[in-house]
Amino acid sequence: MSAVPGSAPEPSQPACAEFKDAFPAHIAIIMDGNGRWAKARGRKRIFGHREGIASVREITTECARLGVQSLTLYAFSAENWKRPPLEVRYLMQLLRLFLVQERRTLMDNRVRLSAIGRLERLPKAAREELERTIAMTASNTGMTLRLALSYGSRSEIADGLRRIVADARSGALEERAIDEETLRRYLYDPLTPDPDLIIRTAGELRLSNFLLWQASYSELYVTECCWPEFRAAQLHEALRAYSARTRKFGGLAPGEKTSTGSSR
Ligand code: FPP
């Protein structure tokens, strides 16, 4: 990716007129297929992860340029700890390297970094670089890049529930007042709006424990393309598909008086 100093637009003004009518403020991506991509080329899985970094760069820069407000990348799931120790170690090294090497690009594109997940499980070196990059980019006013690391949606909900129960017991929270918005406040990052668009690469049709609560009304887009090949052109394709959707949130489409079809 080439850094584009100062070229990221204000988040509310999508740079690309083609997507203007229906443009996602928040895109979340399940980056899948690194291993398959590498295997198809007779290489080791870690080669795919390394190439995946180039896609992370390009997609981050392109989203910032287009005026996306938040981009959440599923970089390491709670379940990924079950992978062979060598692969886990490599992914953690890659994360650390990414956090150091990409600082300039994040700054040049006014991207603010944040993270969700059980971050305390990350190796100290990776955690320290994460904290450093988050602090360094904290006052950037462009897009937020949110890395989901050691992240699992079920643990996020369980962690939130545990804190709700503790607060209800201590009297800080009134039990009768608990509603959907209460639960949102107790999730990892209550201020980031739900994803409008969730993209999954490499063709699997599942959410894999990613943002289960927040995905209730997200538009899903699955492509056969493996993550190392998912670049700006493929992102544009996803955005075009998104702009052709009608989002009803369980209601009716604007101008639709009666409906015989499902409004879910
Ligand atoms: C899935 O591919 C991808 C991952 C488990 C990790 C994603 C990581 C990267 C893109 C690189 C690191 C990213 C950052 C932000 C530092 P897979 O290995 O499950 O592929 P497969 O399903 O084909 O085996």
Which tokens hold the place of 204? 């699997």
Contact 150, 123 (CB under 8 A): no
> Ligand 1: does its nearest atom lie under 6 Å from the Cβ of 115?
no
Q: Active-site positions?
A: 32, 80
pLDDT of the residue at 28: 98
Q: Does the Cβ of 147 fall within 6 Å of ligand 1?
A: yes
CATH number for the domain spanning 188: value is 3.40.1180.10
Pocket test for ligand 1, best of 227, 229, 230 (most atoms within 8 A of CB): 227
Helix (H) / strand (E) element for 30: namely: strand 26-30
Residue 33 in contact with ligand 1 by CB distance below 6 A: yes
Asked whether residue 224 is domain-assigned, the answer is yes
Query: Is residue 16 in a domain?
Result: no
The CB of 210 under 6 Å from ligand 1? The reply is no
Residue 72 lies in a domain: yes
C-alpha 49 to ligand 1 mean position (Å)? 5
Q: Residue 32 Cα, ligand 1 centroid: separation in angstroms? A: 6
Asked if the structure places residue 250 within a domain, the reply is: no
CB 231 within 8 A of CB 251: no
pLDDT tens by residue, the chain, 264 residues: 333 334 444 444 456 667 767 899 999 999 999 999 999 999 999 999 999 999 999 999 999 999 999 999 999 999 999 999 999 999 999 999 999 999 999 999 999 999 999 999 999 999 999 999 999 999 999 999 999 999 999 999 999 999 999 999 999 999 999 999 999 999 999 999 999 999 999 999 999 999 999 999 999 999 999 999 999 999 999 999 999 898 888 888 777 765 555 556
Kindly give the distance from the C-alpha atom of residue 196 to the centroid of ligand 1, in angstroms, as a whole number. 22
The verdict on the CB of residue 117 being under 6 Å from ligand 1 is no
The tokens 């062979």 sit on which residue? 84
Cα distances (angstroms) measured from residue 25 to each of 43, 66, 193, 197, 218: 36, 10, 8, 9, 11
155 lines ligand 1 (CB under 6 A): no
* CA-proximal residue: ligand 1, atom 8 (nearest): 75
Is residue 260 in a domain?
A: no
DSSP reduced 3-state for 108 = helix
Within a domain: 145: yes
Calpha distance 119→131 (Å, rounded): 10
Domain that holds residue 132: 24-243
| Number of independent structural domains in the chain | 1
Task: Tell whether 19 is covered by a domain.
Answer: no
Residue entry with tokens 């090294």: 93
- Site to probe by mutation for ligand 1, drawn from 34, 60, 71 as the one with most ligand atoms within 8 Å of Cβ, is 34
For residue 112, what are its two tokens? 């603010």
The rounded distance, in Å, linking the Cα atoms of 188 and 9 is: 28
Residue 222 belongs to some domain of the structure: yes
CA distance 41 to 29: 24
Atom of ligand 1 nearest to the CA of 228: 10
- Using a 6 Å cutoff on CB, does residue 44 contact ligand 1? no
